[in-house]
Every structure is written in structure tokens, then in C-alpha cells.
Amino acid sequence: MGRIIVTEFVSLDGVLEAPGGGEGFKYDGWSFEIDRGDEGNQFKLEETHDSDALLLGRVTYEGFAAAWPSREGEFADKFNSMPKYVVSSTLDKAEWSNSTVLSGDVVEEVANLKETQPGNIVVHGSARLVQTLIEKDLVDELRLMVFPVVLGTGKRLFGATSDKKRLRLKDSRVVGDGVTILTFERAGQPDEATA
């Protein structure tokens, strides 16, 4: 059975929009202004190596599909070769290698994906998709790389939910120039180390 892991670059005020740039956002590429250091880079590299599949919303998918196929290196090799699933009501087919379009009911499609795709199914960006996954309790782990900046505008990680969502802090560390990495899991889930 697969695990849905959401990983995000966020500002202190919860903005996740365009941390790497290229989206026309007022503060495009804001995460590059703050050094996450060698330890932060290593965290992202290990996270990528531990990913078994990507689950992305259409906008994030299109950005990744435009950028990664022409790149080389460890990240690119992993991203280009692993299975990718894109949630979209407008795409008929996905051109990036090993990509599948999930166009039905998001909750049913993701629940089925968890049953059929083993390992870590990692979600990057994809604000609307992530909000739906959180609302429907489909996120097994939430990894936030929190940058010490307040942007004041932009798409936020968290939207309205129908009920409170209790999380348990699994790990925390500070890397680089004050970037905090926080790893949460839903409260009540068994810890992998003890499961």
C-alpha cells in the first residue's frame, strides 16, 4: 500500500506559490533568496531518492513536465523515470514519460492509487490538490520546508476544512539560513519505527 507524502516549500505565512519561479507571481523564486544549506539540500535529495511515484496537480505537473525532461543529474533522472500521476479534469493525456492522467473523482482516484501504487507517492506544490487531500484525510505525512520570510500574498498551503485536523510532529530541524524542516503525520497513525 502506498503512502501520500506532501512536501512543500512555504513561507512563514503559509504561501507556497512559485518558490522556484516561472509562474509570474509577484515574488517568483522567493525560496532561492534564502540558503537552505548542505543539510537542506541533502534532505531534498534523500526525499527524492525515497520517492516511488509523483502525484501532482495539473499546473505543477505542466511546470515539472516543461522543466525536468531536458535536465540531467540525480533529481532529473529520478523524476523522469518514476511513475507520475496528474490530477486533471482538462488533460486528455500526459506527455512526460511514465505519466498517467487521473481524471475521475479525486478522492476515489487517490484512494485507489494508494491501494495499487506501493511506496512513497510524493506531492510537490499542487495547492488545490493538497487542500483536497488534507480535507479528505488522505495525507499520511506532511513535510514543510519553512523559509523565514513573510510574503503577504499568494496561494496558501492550507484552506478551509470541514473539521480540525490533528497532526503529530515526527521530526524538526533547522538548516541553512534559518530554514526549518518540519515533518508531521496524522495523529493516531502508527510510527513507522514501531509499526
Q: Convert the pLDDT of each residue in 78-126 to its tens digit.
A: 999 999 999 999 998 999 999 999 998 999 999 999 999 999 999 999 9
Of residues 103, 135, 139, the one with CA closest to residue 121: 139
CATH classification of the domain holding 100 = 3.40.430.10
> Residue 147's domain spans which residues?
8-15+34-173
119 in a structural domain: yes
Q: pLDDT-based confidence at 191, cuts 50/70/90?
A: low
191 in a structural domain: no
25 in a structural domain: no
Q: How many residues does the chain have?
A: 195
Rounded to whole angstroms, how far apart are CA atoms 44 and 42? 5
Q: pLDDT-based confidence at 189, cuts 50/70/90?
A: low
185 in a structural domain: no
187 in a structural domain: no
pTM of the model: 0.93
Q: How many domains does the chain have?
A: 1
194 in a structural domain: no
Neighbours of 10 (CB within 10 A): 22
184 in a structural domain: no
| Cell numbers standing for residue 81 | 523515470
Rounded to whole angstroms, how far apart are CA atoms 79 and 4? 16
46 in a structural domain: yes
pLDDT (0 to 100) of residue 158: 94
